[in-house]
Amino acid sequence: MPFALYILLGASLTALGCWASGAWLLHRLSIALYQEERPWIAFLCGSALMSTAVFALAAAQLLYKGTILALVLTAVALCWRSGAWRSPGERFDPLPTSWRIGALLLAAPFLLLTFTHAMAPEMSPDGSAYHLGLVARYYREHGFQRYTASIYGMLSQGLEMLFLSAYAFGRHSAAALVHWCFLVTLPMLMLGYARRAGAPLAGLAGALFTFLSPVVGIDGASAYNDVAVACVLFGVFYLVEIWTATRQRGLIVLIGLLAGFAFALKYTAFLAAPYALIRILWTLRRDRLPWLKPALAICALVLVMASPWLIKNTVWLGNPVAPFFNRWFPNPHVTVAFEAEYGRHMRNYDGLASHAGIPLEVTVRGQILCGLLGPLFLLSPLALLAARDRSEE
């Protein structure tokens, strides 16, 4: 069989497992959504479940093609037997034909370009060096082994667990294609949110701005995790907005799940949890409704999603959030001096005279910061004008 088919097989099985488990969860929680947004939210929520399940396989030293395939087939079976594969619910008002054709003409070349880039051999610096370097190590050893030689092996690796699932069948390019799935999901979620808010044209423009951005495209078509983090963070915001409008109790579960998964993807995404908690508590207190159970549910689910990585680091490294906060958690693996020097290095950019030059660098030049959003984002301050119009569902 041509290896390209193995690449597609690995990515497709992983994406299918994410969607099927997410669709099953939405069905179990009786979540009412529009038909057009349901599959994307299902994929996003299912990715959190799938990532945690692969972590469990790695912790149990059970990482094999057979066990990963069994995991995917179990998710598909649950989805099929429960009838969750159907897409119930109302539909959005259709977009004008001219908008759809225009968007397709703009997006199709970039869709093909990013897809073929993801299918190509993985050559991104971080993707080939540590994102997939760690994934290859875990798969060779059929699970986690104590490893202290790299600070990147200490970080939370929620997306790498999905990479593992795809890597088992299609190796590096299959993993990159998994990240590409998040690249496609993000603009679709943006469009869905805007259609809910009654601003479909603004949502379509924003989705295209994001999808056609050079740095977003190259990142999302590589074995990185940044686009996936952005997608999950937007998913938390999106679900909180739906909950605010509909007060569906099951959405609390999804919000807590994704907020915890955000931390599992990247430490700096931990802000999703306090955002969701504060927003929901403020809304409930404002409306004089019971708040304790929703708050406890969100906190519990965030801990469920984040604790595997905290426990792994505590057991092996003596620091739950290694390689940071070593002054609070002294250990022989990372020194306080190294952490301070690393922080200084990451806060400064060689060749950039001052932080005031960042807006022009990220929109037009792109050399010093190794990528650019595109010149259209120079117009983004105009979006502040939208603050005059508060969208309400």
Confidence (pLDDT) at 32: 96
Residues 111-133: pLDDT tens digits? 999 999 999 999 998 999 899 99
The CA distance from 118 to 223, in Å, is: 8
The CA distance from 52 to 219, in Å, is: 23
Residue carrying structure tokens 């038909």:
35
Residue carrying structure tokens 């403020």:
282
* Sign of the alpha-carbon dihedral angle for 76, 78, 80, 81: positive
Share of the chain above pLDDT 70, in %: 98
Residue carrying structure tokens 């809910």:
196
- Band of residue 18 on the pLDDT scale cut at 50, 70, 90: very high
Confidence (pLDDT) at 391: 52
Q: Characterize 282-311 residue by residue with b for buried, 16 or more Cβ atoms within 10 angstroms of its Cβ, and e for exposed.
A: ebbeeeeeeeeebbebbeebbeebbebbbe
Confidence (pLDDT) at 388: 64
pLDDT at 84 over 90: yes
Cβ atoms within 10 Å of 237's Cβ, excluding its own: 18
Residues 31-62: pLDDT tens digits? 999 999 999 999 999 999 999 999 999 999 99
Q: Characterize 8-45 residue by residue with b for buried, 16 or more Cβ atoms within 10 angstroms of its Cβ, and e for exposed.
A: bbbbbbbbbbbbbbbbbbbbebebebbebbbbbbbbbb
Share of the chain above pLDDT 90, in %: 83
- Band of residue 89 on the pLDDT scale cut at 50, 70, 90: confident
The CA distance from 261 to 38, in Å, is: 19
Rounded to an integer, the average pLDDT of 184-188 is: 98
Confidence (pLDDT) at 390: 55
Of 254, 281, 284, 273, nearest to 29 by C-alpha is 254
Rounded to an integer, the average pLDDT of 276-286 is: 96
pLDDT at 383 over 80: no
Contact 192, 36 (CB under 8 A): yes
pTM of the model: 0.96
pLDDT at 196 over 70: yes
Residues 315-334: pLDDT tens digits? 999 999 999 999 999 999 99
Confidence (pLDDT) at 389: 61
Of 154, 35, 157, nearest to 92 by C-alpha is 35
DSSP three-state, residue 220 = helix
Distance of CA 262 to the CA centre of its chain: 7
Of 156, 258, 175, 168, nearest to 220 by C-alpha is 175
pLDDT, averaged across the chain: 94
